[in-house]
Amino acid sequence: MIRATRPESQVLSLFLRPMATDSNKFQAIISHCKEYGFIFPSSEIYDGLQAVYDYGQMGSELKKNIKDYWWNSMTQFHDNIVGIDAAIFMHPTTWKASGHVDNFNDPMIDNKDSKKRYRVDHLIEGFAEDVRNAGDAAKADAVLASMDALLAKDDFAGLKQLIDDNKMKCAVSGTCNWTDVRQFNLMFSTEFGSVSGEGEDNKVYLRPETAQGIFVNFLNVQKTGRMKIPFGIAQIGKAFRNEIVARQFIFRMREFEQMEMQFFIRPGTQKEWYEYWKAERLKWHLSLGLPADKYRFHDHIKLAHYADAACDIEFEFPIGFKEVEGIHSRTDFDLKNHQEFSKKKQQYFDTEINQNYIPYVIETSIGLDRMFLLIMSNAYTEEDLSTPEKPDSRVVLKFPAKLAPIKMAVFPLTKKDGLPEIARGIMDDCKKSFRCFYEEKDAIGKRYRRMDAIGTPFCITVDHQTKEDNTVTVRHRDSMLQERIPIDAIKGMVLGAIA
Ligand code: ATP
């Protein structure tokens, strides 16, 4: 391999902008996502819709690649896991049985002056962070410990007292004039059929999680697939939550996608399977080459209504350590309740022990959009390439090659002398195997930078030497190193990197 002979600094004033600092990196990522066709605000021409986003031409490719990577590692690499694709609408009783009608609430508090509504845990966590940043870590820890204890008991009066005692302020009005703490259900509902206004009978929900589509199909899949416990059912699909505090870009959306897997097991084995899936899921993240020191587990203190153990896999986003995936030991809560509400047995006959039982379940649930944000945050890099003669910088998305929206770009050095034809030939040979991009406009350096900005791992340049010896220049995204390789080695090189 040889270093680029011509400094890429001969390229662009376009990329010369102030480097993002730690504090504005998140904002820089959001702008980059918009500028390069990854993510747009929904219905932007009407000023957008809060916490709803559209994936653009690059974003939809990246998202699909993440989906495929998850789907294949769940279904293709595990003999005992199969996938389904259930409908978003489900019989309304599903959500009574699952507990979502009664329990899918968040404690909220409103500031009377600004009318701004806060999730109580977010208000308190924000306050604790400020206190910590001001140097009083002990007080921050004490406040968080009190909050956890009060949340665990659903002690709303106590939470209000904690907020009052610490004189927590609204970020908008700056006052401490709070309402009582109240519960707020996060499910969206709509009506089925042509007649509106028929009340509860017509009401259907937009599913707040994909898991229930799996539970109600447990026996269908088990019987038709002749599945034996332990086995899993995986699903990728949209979920909807009327999130109150829906900021932070695609981290918390009202319409998002989940990749969930429910693993059905013999009762009594949940502890070992819970540990197994914790380890397996972290391994999956690290298999993408993501840095281990940016991951940590967070065990739940207050367990959801269905769980006997639960933890989050957290990642260090530019906005701090945040949940990307949940691992939940759901017991037999869901199947038992579906049996009770539907009056249909949800049992499995275990031939090994000659017993009928309702299986226990370990769930792994990852947000596709959050995983997208994780990949984007980790990949986004600003590099200072200045030389004494010339200031220069580049923005490069260092995606794992297998997730990159475009794997390879092909550039004829000039638009004439037969070079475009050779470049097109390379495209035609490779585009059935992976996503390629062809471009002949602008100087090569400029074309490289455009590919850096969307994370394309390989750029192939066809020049006059190609006509003599059938070799091309490969320029590697992260190192910017260039080397000459034969045309017939291109496909193998890229396939090797994305395998
Ligand atoms: P949070 O505490 O952040 O609200 P949660 O614990 O309610 O998340 P789960 O119900 O366990 O989340 O959902 C599993 C995964 O779905 C989460 O780990 C997250 O990646 C994703 N997810 C949940 N809510 C949203 C949302 N509003 N927008 C985007 N992704 C979400």
**pLDDT, mean of residues 413-427:** 96
* CATH classification of the domain holding 443: 3.40.50.800
- Residue 319: pLDDT over 50: yes
| Last residue within a domain, chosen from 136, 159, 185 | 185
- Local structure of residue 405 (DSSP, 8 states): S
Q: Is the CB of 366 under 6 A from ligand 1?
A: yes
In the numeric block, which tokens belong to residue 150?
Answer: 């009060």
Q: How many CA atoms lie within 13 A of 192 on its CB side?
A: 12
Residue 419's contacts (CB-CB under 8 Å, 6 or more residues apart) are 412, 413, 462, 463, 464, 466, 467
For position 136, which CATH number holds? Answer: 3.30.40.230
Mean pLDDT across the stretch 430-455?
97
pLDDT tens per residue across span 352-370:
999 999 999 999 999 999 9
Q: Is the CB of 326 under 6 A from ligand 1?
A: yes
Tell me the sheet residues that pair with 326: 312, 365
Q: What percent of the chain is predicted at pLDDT more than 70?
A: 93
Going by alpha carbons, the residue nearest to atom 31 of ligand 1 is 367
Distance CA 397, CA 425 (A): 27
Cα torsion angle, 190, 191, 193, 195, sign: negative
Nearest protein CA to atom 2 of ligand 1, as residue? 323
Asked whether 121 lines ligand 1 (CB < 6 A), one says: no
Residues 178 and 205 in one domain: no
Flag whether 387 is in a domain: no
Q: Rounded CA gap, 320 and 22, in Å?
A: 11
Q: Strands (DSSP E) along 44-131, which ranges?
A: 53-55, 81-84, 105-110, 117-119
Please report the DSSP string for 246-287 in residue order. Answer: --TGGGS-SEEEEEEEEEEE-TT-HHHHHHHHHHHHHHHHHT
Instruction: Give the whole-angstrom CA distance, residue 434 versus residue 332.
Output: 43
Atom 21 (ligand 1): residue with closest C-alpha? Answer: 367
Query: Which residue among 328, 370, 373 has the greatest number of ligand 1 atoms within 8 angstroms of its CB, and so is best to mutate?
Result: 370
Same domain? For 273 and 137 the reply is no
Give, for 236, the enclosing helix (H) or strand (E).
Answer: strand 231-240
Nearest residue to 34 (alpha-carbon basis) of 376, 438, 445, 367: 376
Together in a domain, 130 and 269: no
Residue 248 pLDDT grade (very low, low, confident, very high; cuts 50, 70, 90)? confident
- Please tell me if the CB atom of residue 20 comes closer than 6 angstroms to any atom of ligand 1: no
105 vs 494: CA distance, rounded Å: 48
Backbone angles phi, psi at 403, to 5 degrees: -100, -10
What local confidence, expressed as pLDDT, does residue 369 receive?
Answer: 98
Residue 198 has a pLDDT of 52
* Residue after which a domain boundary falls, among 331, 350, 377: 377
Instruction: Find the mean pLDDT for residues 432-458.
Output: 97
Token representation of residue 374? 């994780």
477 ligand 1 Cβ < 6 A: no
Per-residue pLDDT band for 192 (boundaries 50, 70, 90) equals confident
Q: Is 325 in the pocket of ligand 1 (CB under 6 A)?
A: yes
- The first and second tokens of residue 342, run together, are 């539907």
Question: Looking at residues 229-236, what average pLDDT do you find?
Answer: 98
- Verify that 151 and 219 share a domain, yes or no: no
Please indicate, yes or no, whether residues 167 and 199 belong to a single structural domain of this protein: no
Say how far apart CA 488 and CA 497 lie, in whole Å. Answer: 16
22 domain-assigned: no
- pLDDT score, position 303: 81
Give the integer Cα–Cα distance in Å for 122 and 135: 20
**Which of the four pLDDT bands, split at 50, 70 and 90, describes residue 244?**
confident
Q: Are residues 66 and 115 in the same domain?
A: no
- Terminal Cα distance for the chain, rounded: 22
CATH of the domain at 34: 3.30.930.10
Does 97 map to a domain?
Answer: no
Residue 10 has pLDDT above 80, yes or no: no
Say whether pLDDT at 307 is over 90.
no
* pLDDT band, residue 45 (cuts 50/70/90): very high
Ligand 1 centroid to Cα of residue 390, in Å, is 46
At 13, is the pLDDT very low, low, confident or very high (cuts 50, 70, 90)? very low
Neighbouring CB atoms inside 10 A of 466's CB total 23
- Judged on CB neighbours under 10 Å (0-12, 13-18, 19+), 135 is exposed
Are residue 169 and residue 211 in the same domain, yes or no?
no
Asked which of 86-90, 122-126, 194-198, 388-392 is least confident by mean pLDDT, the reply is 194-198
Residues 460 and 322 in one domain: no
Question: Which atom of ligand 1 lies nearest, measured to the CA of 323?
Answer: 18
Residue 19 belongs to a domain: no
pLDDT at 444: 96
Q: Which atom of ligand 1 is nearest to the CA of 252?
A: 28
Torsion of CA 237, 100, 170, 153, to 10 degrees: -130
Angle (CA) 337-216-362 rounded to 5° is 75
Output 304 or 456, whichever has higher pLDDT: 456
- Which atom belonging to ligand 1 lies closest to the Cα atom of 260? 14
What is the count of structural domains for the chain?
A: 3
Could you tell me if residue 24 is left (phi over 0), alpha (psi between -120 and 50 degrees) or otherwise beta?
alpha
**Last residue of one domain, picked from the residues 142, 160, 185:** 185
Residue 143 and residue 164 in one domain: yes
Query: What pLDDT shows up at residue 12?
Result: 42
| % of the chain beyond a pLDDT of 90 | 85
Written as six digits, the tokens of 208 are 């707040």
Domain containing 436 equals: 2-6+392-498
72 lies in a domain?
yes
Kindly report the CA angle at 33 between 31 and 37, in degrees rounded to 5? 120
Residue 477 or 244, more confident: 477
Q: Report the alpha-carbon distance of residue 435 to residue 430 in Å, rounded.
A: 8
181 lines ligand 1 (CB under 6 A): no
**Residue 210 Cβ < 6 Å to ligand 1:** no
Separation of CA 123 and ligand 1 centre (Å): 18
Query: Please, what is the angle between helix 57-71 and helix 368-379, to 10°?
Result: 110
Minimal-distance CA residue to ligand 1 atom 18: 325
- Whether residue 394 has its Cβ less than 6 Å from ligand 1: no
Q: Which of 253, 234, 184, 238 is nearest to 206 (CA)?
A: 238
Q: Is the CB of 191 under 6 A from ligand 1?
A: no
172-190 per-position pLDDT tens digit: 999 999 999 998 889 999 9
Q: Is 236 in the pocket of ligand 1 (CB under 6 A)?
A: no
Q: How far, in Å, from the CA of 186 to the mean position of ligand 1?
A: 12
- For residue 138, with 0-12 CB atoms within 10 Å meaning exposed, 13-18 middle and 19 or more buried, which class applies? exposed
Q: Of all helices (H) and strands (E), which one includes residue 141?
A: helix 137-152
Residue 324 lies in a domain: yes
d(CA 285, CA 327): 14
Same domain, 198 and 178: no
Residue nearest to atom 25 of ligand 1 (CA): 252
Q: Which residue from 302, 359, 303 is spatially nearest to 328, judged by alpha carbons?
A: 303
Residue 9: what pLDDT? Answer: 42
Note whether residue 408 is domain-resident.
yes
* Local confidence band at 1 (pLDDT 50, 70, 90 cut-offs): very low
- State the sign of the Cα–Cα–Cα–Cα dihedral 46, 47, 53, 55: positive
**Is the minimum distance from the CB of 370 to ligand 1 under 6 angstroms?**
yes
Q: What pLDDT was estimated at residue 15?
A: 45
In a domain? residue 20? no
Q: ω into residue 230 within 30 of 0, thus cis?
A: yes
Angle CA 131–135–137, to nearest 5: 65
CA of 367 to the centre of ligand 1 (A): 6
CA 453 to chain centre: 20
323 lines ligand 1 (CB under 6 A): yes
246 and 373 assigned to the same domain: yes
One domain, residues 181 and 221: no
